[in-house]
Structure 1
């Protein structure tokens, strides 16, 4: 189950969502709850800034994640972007941002990205 909403106020877009996912298997079930508020500020038609926070709870553990990003459109299909993500997990859990990186050996992890994205 999930619900989300956004509100635009001039160049500022405020958004948030909540999801509650239940996993069933091996005679057990677990629930993961995720809260995600964020804002996007459209400085110019080509330049935007994004700030987001995510709080996740799962099987007695929790994670805090903060993300900051900048997007610059070079054209309708090509953009430059940079982002910094920081995560802190509860005691006894190794942090892993987005499950696309190798898990940290500690409860903290930081990811920095700079890229050009082109959509065909």
Structure 2
């Protein structure tokens, strides 16, 4: 699918099957290939949770790959309605099919983007 004169193909680090991909390209183009690979990670990875309807991000896996139970629990607690009346109201909305994401300045995506920009 690439032009015949393509000499290089660069893949994202998230592609796990580079060898299979290279085999396919070599077969299609009838050319040998070389895979250059590195485990070097210039930016440490961290994993966050943004609970729907929440107000913040919670780091649940740090840059060393350690699971942060305390932060995970806080993220889960952010999902629990604050009062019994909230539970009843949400249950009623679910039964009526009225629950959907808020749009605009109160919406989760807007909040998440705002948090990321601040960071």
TM-score (norm 2): 0.23
Whichever structure has more strand as a proportion of its residues is 1
Which of the two has higher C-alpha Rg? 2
Higher helix share: 2
Could you tell me the TM-score, scaled by structure 1's length? 0.22
